[in-house]
């Protein structure tokens, strides 16, 4: 079974630029999560999708972050404009509906200069 | 609000020895899940072990076992016969129910000494 795929693996941008991350969950997984992991901390949930609907985006900085999951499969997370404090690893995870195990992708490491 | 605390930022253990990572959590709920996740240097988070709060029996997965003390809100991970491949960040995590988000601790970096 293929795992959660993410791209790019690394990205370096300057502040105020835009950036987008892509996630392809495990086939058949209805629930998809985006996490932000700042160095030295545990992952923090940004947004949760159930199929193509948003379940929880309470911790998403909506003035600069946006996410979508078209057709309930792939998802993109965008930051516009980026700030220095956005430097982090962005993790995508997926989960088979009504299961308790989240499967994580390798993450995208973002550095904002 | 639920919180997860890992008081050991780093730990070291000799290869083949046993090590215990500590985790405490705060919740007023009675039905929840607890997890230990491993994040190797490649950064892909992997589930190590899972415990349902309603189960009194401690979960075990090969060399990994937990000591779940519900009243004390403690959930420690024991790694037996430590191997070089066990070197990673270990995150303790809590989930209220199957539809809620996971709350992670800050992690413990485990070093394995050859």
Indicate the DSSP class of residue A72: G
The answer to whether A53 and A31 are in contact (CB under 8 A) is no
Q: B46: which chain A residues are within 8 Å (Cβ-Cβ)?
A: 104
β-partners of residue B46 are: B38
pLDDT above 90 for B97: no
pLDDT above 70 for A100: no
pLDDT digits (tens, 9 = 90+) for A28-87: 998 999 999 998 889 999 999 988 899 889 999 999 999 999 888 999 999 999 999 999
* pLDDT at residue B99, as a whole number: 62
pLDDT above 90 for B2: no
Angstrom distance (rounded) from CA A4 to CA A92: 7
Q: What is the residue-averaged pLDDT of chain B?
A: 93
Angstrom distance (rounded) from CA A62 to CA B38: 30
Nearest by CB: B98 against A48, A98, A106: A98
Q: Which residues of A touch B (CB under 8 A)?
A: 3, 33, 40-45, 48, 55-56, 89, 91, 93, 98-107, 109
Comparing C-alpha atoms, which of A84, A85, A103, A82 is closest to residue A93? A103
Q: Tokens for B93?
A: 């995590």
Pairing of strands B46-52, A65-68: unpaired
* pLDDT at residue A2, as a whole number: 79
**Number of Cβ pairs < 8 A linking chain A and chain B:** 48
* pLDDT at residue A65, as a whole number: 97
- From residue B52, alpha-carbon distances to A45, A81, B49, B75, B114 in Å are 21, 41, 10, 11, 34
Contact B106/A at CB under 8 A: yes
pLDDT above 80 for A98: no
Q: A93: which chain B residues are within 8 Å (Cβ-Cβ)?
A: 45
Q: Do B50 and A107 touch (CB under 8 A)?
A: no
pLDDT above 80 for A92: yes
Residue A81: asked if its preceding bond is cis (omega within 30°), the reply is yes
* pLDDT at residue A71, as a whole number: 84
Q: Which of A19-23, B83-87, B101-105 has the lowest mean pLDDT?
A: B101-105
Angstrom distance (rounded) from CA A100 to CA B52: 10
CA angle B72, B73, B74 (to 5 degrees): 90
- Looking at the complex, report in whole angstroms how far the Cα of residue A107 sits from the nearest Cα belonging to chain B: 7
* pLDDT at residue A1, as a whole number: 65
């Amino acid at each position: 079974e293929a795992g959660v795929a993410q791209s790019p693996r690394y990205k370096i941008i300057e502040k105020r630029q835009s950036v987008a991350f892509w996630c392809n969950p495990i086939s058949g997984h209805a629930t998809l999560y985006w996490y932000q992991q700042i160095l030295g901390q545990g992952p923090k949930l940004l947004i949760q999708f159930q199929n193509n609907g948003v379940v929880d985006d309470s911790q998403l900085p909506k003035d600069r972050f946006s996410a979508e999951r078209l057709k309930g499969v792939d998802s993109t997370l965008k930051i516009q404009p980026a700030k220095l404090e956005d430097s982090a690893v962005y993790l995508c995870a997926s989960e088979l509906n009504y299961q308790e195990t989240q499967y994580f992708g390798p993450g995208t490491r973002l550095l904002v200069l | 609000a639920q919180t997860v605390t890992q008081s050991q930022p780093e730990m070291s253990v000799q290869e083949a020895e046993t090590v215990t990572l500590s985790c405490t959590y705060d919740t007023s709920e009675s039905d929840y899940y607890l997890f230990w996740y491993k994040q190797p240097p490649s950064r892909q988070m992997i589930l190590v072990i899972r415990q349902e709060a309603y189960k009194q029996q401690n979960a075990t997965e090969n060399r990994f076992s937990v000591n779940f003390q519900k009243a004390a809100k403690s959930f420690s991970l024991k790694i037996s016969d430590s191997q070089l491949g066990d070197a990673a960040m270990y995150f303790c995590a809590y989930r209220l129910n199957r539809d809620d988000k996971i709350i992670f601790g800050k992690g413990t970096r485990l070093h394995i000494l050859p």
